Amino acid sequence: MTPKEISVVGVPLDYGADRRGVDMGPSAIRYAGLHEKLRQAGHVVNDLGNLAVPVPESRTPRDPHAKYMDEIVKVNRVLARTIEKVSREGQFPLVLGGDHAIAMGTIAGILRVRPKIGLLWFDAHGDFNTEKTSPSGNVHGMPAAVAAGRSQSDLAIPFKGHFLDESKIVYVGVRTLDREEARALRESRTTVFSMHEVDRYGMREVMARAMDLVTDGTDGVHLSFDIDALDPLYAPGSGTPFNGGLTDREAHLALELLAEGDILTSMEMVEVNPILDERNRTGCLAANLIASALGHRII
């Protein structure tokens, strides 16, 4: 992988889900030796610190269909400006969450610089609900749909009318979807490699197909990685665990293949929850996965 100047941005956002704790995710990943792993891979690392995010206890959710929407939009507008600046300066944005609602800010900022971005979305879930279909009102289940221009709410404000091309959104590892969300994905132009495809074809073949899709006609590739893409056996520190996920080696292989292809132009790692973890096991796994995606090698 070509050496990069990486700008790390922490976003301790804890508004998008019902279970608390992901606001400590950025610290857990950093503590696991992230910076040193990236430097060993030949990169320059600049840590921009964490964005300021008020704790949920100081706020009251107003809309039950999109909880804490105002607060999430405010943080994502700041995040979008930060990512836009980093990208325009030629640096590689690496965002540490926080819950997956931060993806709206990350992607909005990237689109201002790379309007034809391809998106790889590793997740147990589709995150393709909107405020009209979500059974919970939890915004961390909506960012992919918002980024594709499907929301009519204020969640779309950071995008300034510029959204992803759905045909360039590719999922890997999906294994649980809400009913309306599944229908929306079937009717969309996205590509979903569920765990069925991973089991049937193997990770190498799935990644070959996925990489072809996200690089065809695009001006970069963003990787959005939810740690619950892995089975909870390997990543217990996640607020929304679901059995039957990726093994740690399947995940590493997928990201090592991305590094070999040298196609990534930005990345985020989200939903690490230290409160639910075992001695920072999931934080360490997240740091190692980031390192794999950015070219860290065994030998």
- Is 71 an annotated catalytic residue? no
226 is in an annotated binding site: yes
228 is in an annotated binding site: yes
248 is in an annotated binding site: no
- Is 228 an annotated catalytic residue? yes
- Is 277 an annotated catalytic residue? no
- Is 226 an annotated catalytic residue? yes
Q: Which of 228, 231, 256, 268 is catalytic?
A: 228
At residue 170, the 3 state secondary structure works out as: strand
3-state helix, strand, coil in the chain (%, to 5): 45, 15, 40
- Rounded to whole angstroms, the Cα distance separating 6 from 229 reads 24
- Structure-token pair, residue 146: 């918002």
- Rounded to whole angstroms, the Cα distance separating 79 from 85 reads 10
- Is 70 an annotated catalytic residue? no
The residue with tokens 């009913």 is: 179
- Rounded to whole angstroms, the Cα distance separating 107 from 245 reads 25
C-beta atoms surrounding 36 within 10 Å: 12
Q: Which of 14, 99, 140, 268 is catalytic?
A: 140
Q: Which of 100, 222, 252, 296 is catalytic?
A: 100
Q: What are residue 159's phi and psi, to 5 degrees?
A: -80, -15
- Is 127 an annotated catalytic residue? yes
- Is 125 an annotated catalytic residue? yes
Cα dihedral sign, 105-109-115-117: negative
219 is in an annotated binding site: no
- Is 100 an annotated catalytic residue? yes
Q: Which of 14, 23, 99, 123 is catalytic?
A: 123
Q: Which of 14, 23, 71, 127 is catalytic?
A: 127
Q: What are residue 174's phi and psi, to 5 degrees?
A: -65, 140
Q: Which of 131, 166, 181, 226 is catalytic?
A: 226
Active site residues: 100, 123, 125, 127, 140, 226, 228, 271
Binding positions: 100, 123, 125, 127, 226, 228
Binding positions for Mn(2+): 100, 123, 125, 127, 226, 228
